[in-house]
Each structure stands twice: as structure tokens, then as C-alpha cells.
Structure 1
Amino acid sequence: MIDRLTQIYQLYDRITGSAARACGPGCAGCCTCNVTLTSLESQVMTNRLSSSRRQAIYAIITQRFPEKRYIPKTSTNRFARLCMEDADLPEEENDPAWGKCPLLENDLCTVYDVRPFGCRAMVSETDCRDTGSAQMPSWVLTVNNVFLQAIEHLDQDGYSGNLSDMLLALSDNDVTGLDMQNHDLKNHGLFVKNEPITCLMIPPEHREQMAPIVRDLSELINTGLERNQGQDQGNDR
């Protein structure tokens, strides 16, 4: 699964590489303590860092652990499923004013080479420091949502949670190389169970443009995503 996740990252870079963006080194306006990731992405991060670097990162997070941070109550695929079922959505609290990502150093990412998809997908056409928020084309937002869904589907036996919580939970045993679904994340009470895809969050106006992307993703995660294309009812998540 790690190889397939890497291929998903590479596919995303190819698709969005030509998109206009104001982001660059030292631009950390979107790098808050509210980043989330899947347990599979955590495994990739820990696997690709040396033991000494992992320990240094665990120490940094411990020192800078954010008191207030986004703790998700639903995963991306569960959110999509609840929208399709017209069910009540859990209330979530998320405020960028809670602070920066603890892994920033002088506004530069110390784990940039192994950063999760949530960081890779945060791009803006304008400088967030000037506008106060990221501005991206609507089709990029659709691409981001579908890739988030595919990554969760790939890790459907795992969990999702805040980056700080996830890495600290893993630091208990320095679990590099461990099959994450066997790690007892469910008992931490901070993580949500991942789900497979039941519908894709693609609005009608983007379906033709997204069709080849969905096919490529489907091949990577070995499932027929084309069958799951549904109305977009949650792109503002």
C-alpha cells in the first residue's frame, strides 16, 4: 500500500503541476496545527525517516503540542456517505487561529519530503497572508476531495486524525514498519475509523474533466471508482 500511496502522490503532482499558485518556500499561512492524515500516511512518514529524525520530530511535537487543534469527528468518505444519505453531520470545530503546525521551523516545513496529502493539496492562487485564506480553482478542490477519498479508501482498515495526535500516538512504541491497522489507535479516542468509498464528491460540471483522473486512481487502488461517482454534496468541507 505504501508504493500505491506514493504513486497517488505522484499522480496528483502531475495533474496539478501546471495550476497557478502563489505558494513557495517560507509561505506558511496555511500550515496550521489542524492538519489531518490517515494512519497509512503516518506509516509512510515514519518509514521514510531515520530513527534519530523520528525521535527529534516526536520531541518537537511534544514540546509544541497544540492545546487547541482540529480533532475530526468524521472521515472524508463517511462525510460523503452521510451527505448522500441526507443524514445529520457531526459538528466540528476548526480555527486556523489556534496556531501553526508544530513541525514548522522559521516558516519552513521540517518534514516536507514526507508531508501528508493534506499539506500537498493546500495550494493557492493568491498569497494567503494577503487574503487571509487560500484561493483555488473549483476543479482543484474537486480533485483534492477525490484524492482524499482515494487515500482513505486505500487505508479503509485504518484511521484518520490530527497530525500531532497521530504522530504522538505512534511515538509510544516508535512503530515504523508496523501494519497500522494492528496498532491500537481506536483506544486513543482521538481518531475516526476510515471507510471505503461509496460515492465520489464530483459535481456535474467536473465529471467529464475528472473521468480520466478517476480511471487512473481506480487502477492505483484496484477498485472501480467510476461506479461510485455521485453528486457533489460536500465540497465545502
Structure 2
Amino acid sequence: MSSWDQLRTELDLWQSEGRVATAWWRDDDAVTVTPELETLLGFEQDYNVPLALAVIPASLQDDLVERLVETIDTRVLQHGWAHQNNMPEGRKKQELDDIRDVDAVIADLKQGFAVLSSRFGNRFLPVIVPPWNRISDDVAAALHNIGICGLSTFNARKKPEPYKGVLQVNTHVDVIDWRGTRGFVGEDAALGAMIAHLSARRQGDVDPQEPTGILTHHLVHDAPTTQFLDNLFSMEHSALSWLRIPGVFPWQ
């Protein structure tokens, strides 16, 4: 049985239980319009799969602001401040770190928040996507104080609101093989991760209310990655529902 058949089988199980498998899509590292980003915006329009675009505030270019005005469902999330690693050698990369004073980190985030809210208006949702999907506990605990109501990293969340006033909705399927080729991770790996999270939700092993998140990075997509996304987003099943981004973060 192919991985696609296995995904359909899992969705059939959701359907047999009278349930709908919710999913959402996040793409990271946006600063300007590129051909690869245009491809994703085409998928969003053609297949009605809403896109959450994690934008790096410090590097934002005017053309991205102008291009997103033309879209319907695209929403902007805050991808840290400058996507700059602040960790010493030997520690995993992190911008929202525990090395600097927490007030300094929060000051960066406030600056980024101001940039995105002023440039994108209500298309910007007050959600932090930490670069490298890492954030220190002290910084995360302070997010609500500066008007940030959402957090998105990677892997199944432990609880919906891990920090006061902050809803966490993560991604679970990374299509890039970061530790190997840095190209497409492969159909079996990508679909396997999607099936695993859907199955765990259905059986109650993880939070069943957290929608299954697809994570992409348009700047490094190769042809196999693009073809996979085309196949995934064009696939139809009555038990699979791609959420609009304000529905992923429903306090909006």
C-alpha cells in the first residue's frame, strides 16, 4: 500500500467515526516575493488551502506587503525579529533565547510586532513563530504582556495554553530534510508524519483538537517538494478540512 493509500485509509477511519480531520499550513522565512513563494500562493488560490506566512520583520520588503494585498486567505505571523542566532557555539540555534536579558528579547519582538501590524493591518495575526521553532520559557511567558496571543513551534503540543493568554498551535509535518540533503524529505517520510499525527489525534494519544500542521520553507523548495505539495493540496477527501488561519487561532 502506498503512503497516499495509507493517508486515505486514516482519513476513512476519521470519516467512519463521523469526525473531520482538520489541518493547516504554515510557511516560514518570508521577506520578499520570490518565484517559489508565487508557486505557494498559486496553490493557495487553486486548491483553497489557506496559508499562514511567517514573516521576518527586520528584513521585510515592500513588494511582499503589496503582493499579499492581492490574496484572500493569506495571513501573516511574526517570525521572531531578525532570524538571528544568539546562542554560543555548541548550543542549538535560537533567537528568542535565554542568554540575553528577557527584556531585550521582548524589545525585539515589540519592534517586530509594530512593523508587521503597521504594514499588514488585520492581515497580521499576533502569533509568534520562533526561528528554529525554539523559544525560552521566560520569553514565552511574557508574550501576552505585549499583545501576542498565539505561539507556533513544531511537534504535538502538550496543552493548548502553555503560557497565560497564549494559544499554542504547532506544525507536525516538515517537508524538508534539514539533517540530510536539505531537499525534499520524501513522500514516505512526509506522509508518514502526517498519518502519525492524525492517528494519534484520533486515538487520543495527543491533543485531538490541535489541527495537523504542514510546515514548508519556500526559499529551499526543490522540484520534488513542489510536486509533493501540489499532490497533497489537490487531494480531496470528505474527512479532511484545511482551516482558514483565523480558525486555527480562533480568538481572532
TM (normalized to structure 1)? 0.22
Compare relative contact order (CA 8 Å, sep 6+) and give the higher one, 1 or 2: 1
Write 1 or 2 for the structure with the bigger share of helix: 1
Write 1 or 2 for the structure with the bigger share of strand: 2
